[in-house]
Amino acid sequence: MTKIRSRIRERRPAIVESLRGAVQPARLLLAAKTALAVGLAWWIAPQMPGVTDQYPYYAPLGALVSMYPTLMGSVRSSLQTLLGLVAGIGLATLVIVTVGPNWWTIPVVVGVGVLLSGTGWFGAGKEYVPIAALFVLIIGGQNADDYSLGYLTQMAVGVVIGLVVNLVIAPAPTTLAAAARVDAFRHQLSDHLHDIGYAITESWPPEHEQWAEDAASLADTTSSLRTALAEADDSRRVNPRARGGRGETQHVHEDLTRLDRIAHLIRDIADATADTIWDRPGAMPLDPELPEPLAAACHAVADAIAAEDPSTAEAHRLRAEAARAIRRLLETVDDRTADVGRTTGPGVLTAMHLRRILIVSGATRESDD
């Protein structure tokens, strides 16, 4: 019981974060629109002509599968779902007009449907290829033609209703949210570099290790940000609430590219510093004269990273201070190398990477074009 409580306490922040994400305004709007679309589909489905009104329950399903957080995602998933249904119904029809459904043709068709779904041709509708084939052969039975027509038509009705609802109540583009996350990443990188500077000047070896663990997660953060930006671009397509195209997010992509390069350099600094601190394989000794100028350079470059606009006077001042701190570090490295007659290890690598970080962080958007 104690272990269970301990695990719950450890997982509590993640659980709270998950619940918070589930009740975000955008998610609540999607839930409301989905409920509305399903309700409308269930109301309209029985009014359909011919035999299709015998299968009204597929219309709400079509509305459900068409509802995505973005309009383009809704269009894409809807078309892919209908394509998957057509393929599955086609497979079932092929069996019906040839050998007929029996104990061996049904599993064979389902197997072929699973193989087709793995081709990547059907996207979000891949699971519907074997499902549609199975439903037509087993549920349709002797009325497979009527069932196939009703199944596909009602799903299409639900899809159209879902797309109309999603268009009339268009979701807000997520560009601002994605840009805010990229800005937060900039400050996160600055904090990481500050933490490295603090670790170098702590009592040796440093007691806290969180900075090393956090640095290792930077690649995952970059990956999640790229996904968020891709979703932000997707949220603008065919969206009446979005003005312009991807160009309005181009500068955010450029910022993330620069921050990704900076993150790689910080990870290298963190790895080399951790090797030295905890005497790992491949570690090089740190000269006792280097911690102070090395930490000062880390702090100065970290302040320069935090500047959101590299073209401002304040950003220029911070970069100038960081450049002076790096020069002092290099002077110390040169002096100690001459005094002791050997390379001063992490000081050289850190100075090189800090200089690269400063160059990357100072690149203006105009100079990248």
> Tens digit of pLDDT for each residue in 101-116?
888 989 999 999 999 9
pLDDT of residue 12: 62
pLDDT of residue 203: 60
What separation in angstroms does the CA of 223 have from each of 226, 257, 275?
Answer: 5, 11, 26
Lowest mean pLDDT, pick from 93-97, 171-175, 227-231: 171-175
Residue 43 CA to residue 41 CA, distance in Å, equals 5
Annotate 86-102 with DSSP letters as a single string.
HHHHHHHHHHHTTT-S-
Residue 219 CA to residue 221 CA, distance in Å, equals 5
pLDDT digits (tens, 9 = 90+) for 61-85: 999 999 988 888 889 999 999 999 9
Mean pLDDT along residues 147-158: 93
Give yes or no for residue 245 having a pLDDT over 60: no
pLDDT of residue 278: 67
Higher model confidence: residue 360 or residue 342? 360
pLDDT of residue 321: 92
Mean pLDDT along residues 199-228: 70
Question: Left, alpha or beta for 200 (phi > 0: left; psi -120 to 50: alpha)?
Answer: alpha
Q: What is the mean pLDDT of the chain?
A: 83
pLDDT of residue 353: 92
Report yes or no: 58 and 154 within 8 Å, Cβ to Cβ.
yes
pLDDT of residue 217: 72
The sign of the dihedral angle between the CA atoms of 234, 236, 239, 241 is positive
Mean pLDDT along residues 20-37: 83
pLDDT of residue 117: 92
CATH code of the domain occupying 175-368 = 1.20.58.220
Report yes or no: 79 and 174 within 8 Å, Cβ to Cβ.
no
> What is residue 207's DSSP assignment?
S
pLDDT digits (tens, 9 = 90+) for 252-288: 888 888 999 999 898 888 887 777 766 666 667 677 7
- What are the residue boundaries of the structural domains of the chain, listed by start? 27-168, 175-368
Token pair in block for residue 288: 């006792």
